[in-house]
Every structure is written in structure tokens, then in C-alpha cells.
Chain A
Amino acid sequence: MSVIDELQQAVKNSPRQSPGDEHPMSNFLRMDRIPHIWCPTCGIGTTVNCFAQALERCSIPLDDVAVVSGIGCTGRVAGYVKTDSFHTTHGRAIPFATGLRLGNPKLKVVVFSGDGDLFSIGGNHFNHAARRNLDMTVICVNNFNYAMTGGQVAPTSPTDSVLTTSPYGNFETPFNLPFLAESVGATFVARWTALHIHRVTESMIKALMKPGFSFIEIIAPCPTIFERKNKFGDGLDRLKFYHDNSEIIHGAPTKDVDIGLRNKIIVGEFVDIERPTFIESMNAYLKRRLGSDYDIYEG
């Protein structure tokens, strides 16, 4: 089944609404904050929808979930999901999540933020949380630019991208996020586009159920800025581009999955390894060294 078929199937299967019906997402979204601020055909809302479905299918009680965001368009996710949710400072969602998770290891902690927030100003925190294998799922919506501030070049903007601070085209080399994530120690790494909704949901389920540091990159249209400035058309045109140019290669060597402005996009689940988590290691080491003076830490 092609992704377009999948999309149509999903639309067909989604429950019909009559006026007065409760919104099917009302248990998951803060309906008193809707409408949201995202532009029509922006990809962020799609990823939130996938996330809601993933949580439901994992049967994780929403009371046990905490969503942490930084600043930016994707940084607004924490403001709309009806879980305990924290909208922190720019780039610092991951260290906040570190404290939250270590403070209460029963919480399912999810960091939901954008590429600029997680990999520019917050880049170092990503590296260290992955290195420590802290229990958290990091979902990065990558729209290749700083959209909230009006479309500046980001560390993920493909070379040649035209943005307000790269008006003559970006001459820098962007990050290859799956390669970066694998190098610094993430135990689960996947990449999809906002078109691959079922696969996004499936990967989210795997990430949520997997102990340790899991990372999902979702490439998403930014119709107002990135697509317009780089002449990709609107959000729908961009989904068509994803459809025509995505190639699924599970287990692809992450060093080969870098993204060019108009090149093929390699998607798939690239990394799935086992490694003791921060809390597992801490408990094992301290128990061995301190014996009866140490109680296994459970929060």
C-alpha cells in the first residue's frame, strides 16, 4: 500500500463527526486552547496526532506521561497536550526532562521540540542525555528552519536553502540527525516524514516502550516559510515531494542518510540496540559499591 493510499485509508477510517460530538482527541488535547497557532498544512499537528495514537495504542495512562518542550513552533506542543506538560526555555527541554525523569522514574517523559531548539542552542544537552542513555523519547519535528521567528537558517537547513539569514543560499553543511544521534549513544533512531503517519506512529510506539534514550526525527512541511522560500509549493505539494522522493531503508547506515535540498530522503528505523539506562547503571554500580547502605532508587 502506498503512503498516499495509507493516508486516504486513514481519512476514511477516522470517525465521522456530527455537530455536537465530542472531539475524538478531547481526552488528549487541551480543547480550551484550541485553535492552535500552527499554519494550515504545517506538519506539526500531524505528528501530535500520531503521538496521541501511539500513546493510546501503548495503553500508557495519560496521567503517567509528561511532555516537555523548548521554544519554537514545535515547542508549543507541550501547551496543547493534556498531560502534565512543561514549556521550558529555549534549548533546555532535555535537561529539564532529565531532572523530571530522575525525580520520578515512574513518569514516561517525552521531549517534543524542533530542530533549532534541540540541535542548535540545545545541541550539547542532546549529546549528553543520549550518552547517559537517560530514559526519554525525543521527538524532533524537523522543518529545516527557525519558523517561529520568521524563517532563519538552522543547523538542519540543507545546503542551498534560502532563508532570511541565508538570503543567498545556505553555504554551511547541515547536521545529519540520525547519524548524530547514533554517534552519541541513542538506542533507538528513526526518521520519517509527516506523510508516513502510520510508520511515525509505529516508531513512536517502539520508542515509548523501549527503555533508554530513543530519538525520532520527523521531517515536516513548513508551508509558510521553508516551502515558500524554497519554492516547494504549499504543504500538500511538499507531501507529494516526500511521496515521490522518500526511500525506506530500515537499518541504513546513518552516515549515509544526510539530506540535500531536493534530493531523495532516506527514511526508516536505523538503530535499535540494547544498553543499560542511566538509572539501571546507577543502581547497579551504587549497590555493588555501597551494599546495604544503598537502596535501589525508584524515585
Chain B
Amino acid sequence: MSRTEIKIGGFGGQGVILTGFIIGKAASIFDMKNATMTQAFGPEARGSACSSQVIVSEDKIRYPYVKRPNVMVMMSQEAFNKFSPQIDPHGIMLIEEELVDPAGLPDTVTVYSIPATRIAEELGKKIVLNMVMTGFFTAVSRIISREAARKAVADSVPPGSENLNLNAFEKGYEWGLKQLEG
């Protein structure tokens, strides 16, 4: 299947949008595929359940929204509760394991989890949790290449913070590889 639908959810301020942006950029600019990103947000700037949606495809993308995500990345319980019923029954669910209890998913969904916030805190900056999540996503989902993802991260974060963010990405990536093995 050429079209892969990805939905990333969390609360405002977690970097949900940037995660989607990096995945889309990696796919479209550095992996030479097609990607469309849309986002959903309310009037509030902080704290509400928000989501970004990315479609990655070999072909031209027409219908712009995600209908039945093949991959979900959920970083808050509120987002999980709101969005998880949409998941493809054979899809994969990536969660922030200390913030999300993945109850109620069909058995056919594969769940991978990571304490992304804690890993980010250990790196000294809680706000890079989305980069940990991006690395984790890259390893587990294999939709975008590691090289493309690294380039997209370096290209999307504020100048001077590349190393910190790439470090966070690598921590997430390693965690993902371990999960795949185990």
C-alpha cells in the first residue's frame, strides 16, 4: 500500500506539530516521497488535545485528511482517548508510556511505548521529548529513513540546538530498535 496515514496527538506545548512537520519533511524533501501535513487545533494556545496528521505516499496525495491512521503517536491521555478509536485495526500505536494508558485498543494493534518525557529530562530539556518521540517513530515505523529524519530534525530546530535535538532523536531511535528486538 502506497499511502500511509500517521496521526500524532498530545497537548499543546508538547511539540505535536513540529513532530508531524519533521516526519513530513523527512519523507518529502529528503526521502523524495510525497507528504501532506494538516493540523487540528482549538482556540487555546496551551494544554488542549491537539493533533497533527501526516500522509506519506509514493503517489500524489489527493484527499488531504487522515481517515484511518496506520501509525499513531500519542503523547497525552486526552489525545489518546479522543483519537485512538480511529486507528487502523492492524496499525501501530506509539505512546508516551508514563502519560498514556493504552486501554481499549483492539488486540490486532501493536503498541510500542517509551518514557519520552523522562528521557528528555535526562538530557536536560523536557521540551525535546518530541524529538525523542520522532526518533522512536523513525525506528519503529520505518516509514522514513534514519538519515532523512536526522536531516529534517537538524533543518527544523532553532540554530544552535541541533546537537541537543539530534541527541534526543538518537535516544528515541535506540529505544525503538530495542523494542523491535524485544
Most chain A beta-carbon contacts within 10 A, residue among B44, B45, B48 = B45
CB contacts between A and B, total, < 8 Å: 19
Q: Which residues of A70-112 have CB atoms within 8 Å of chain B's CB atoms?
A: 76
Give the segment of A34-42, A162-170, A238-246, A284-292 that binds chain B.
A34-42
Looking at chain B's contact residues, is the secondary structure mostly helix, strand, loop, or mixed? loop
Give the chain A neighbours of B42 by CB distance below 8 A.
Answer: 37
Whether a CB of chain B sits under 8 angstroms from the CB of A121 is: no
Residue of B nearest to A35 (CB): B47
In the assembled complex, the CB of A150 is this many whole angstroms from the nearest CB of chain B, namely 8
Q: Which of A37, A224, A225 contacts B43 (CB 8 A)?
A: A37
Q: Which residues of A101-152 have CB atoms within 8 Å of chain B's CB atoms?
A: 147-148, 150
Residue of A nearest to B45 (CB): A224
In the assembled complex, the CB of A196 is this many whole angstroms from the nearest CB of chain B, namely 24
Residue of A nearest to B12 (CB): A39
Whether a CB of chain A sits under 8 angstroms from the CB of B82 is: no
Does the CB pair B43–A39 fall under 8 Å? no
Q: Which residues of B99-140 have CB atoms within 8 Å of chain A's CB atoms?
A: none
Give the chain B neighbours of A37 by CB distance below 8 A.
Answer: 42-44, 48
Give the chain B neighbours of A38 by CB distance below 8 A.
Answer: 44
In the assembled complex, the CB of A39 is this many whole angstroms from the nearest CB of chain B, namely 4
In the assembled complex, the CB of B134 is this many whole angstroms from the nearest CB of chain A, namely 23
Does the CB pair A225–B46 fall under 8 Å? no
Give the chain A neighbours of B44 by CB distance below 8 A.
Answer: 37-39
Q: Which residues of A234-288 have CB atoms within 8 Å of chain B's CB atoms?
A: none
In the assembled complex, the CB of B71 is this many whole angstroms from the nearest CB of chain A, namely 29
In the assembled complex, the CB of A44 is this many whole angstroms from the nearest CB of chain B, namely 12
Q: Which residues of B44-78 have CB atoms within 8 Å of chain A's CB atoms?
A: 44-48
Does the CB pair A224–B47 fall under 8 Å? no
Does the CB pair B45–A40 fall under 8 Å? no
In the assembled complex, the CB of A202 is this many whole angstroms from the nearest CB of chain B, namely 31
In the assembled complex, the CB of B12 is this many whole angstroms from the nearest CB of chain A, namely 8
Residue of A nearest to B44 (CB): A37
Give the chain A neighbours of B45 by CB distance below 8 A.
Answer: 39, 147, 150, 224-225
In the bound complex, what is the Cα–Cα distance between A150 and B43 (angstroms)? 10
Does the CB pair A40–B43 fall under 8 Å? no
Known: A37-B44, A38-B44. 8 other contacts (CB 8 A): A35-B47, A37-B42, A37-B48, A39-B44, A39-B45, A39-B47, A224-B46, A225-B45
Interface residues of chain B, those whose CB is within 8 Å of chain A, are: 42-48
Across the A-B interface, give the 7 residue pairs with the lowest CB-CB distance, nearest first: A37-B44, A39-B46, A224-B45, A37-B43, A39-B45, A224-B46, A40-B46
- Interchain Cβ contacts under 8 Å between A and B, 9 examples: A35-B47, A38-B44, A40-B46, A40-B47, A76-B43, A147-B45, A148-B43, A150-B45, A225-B45
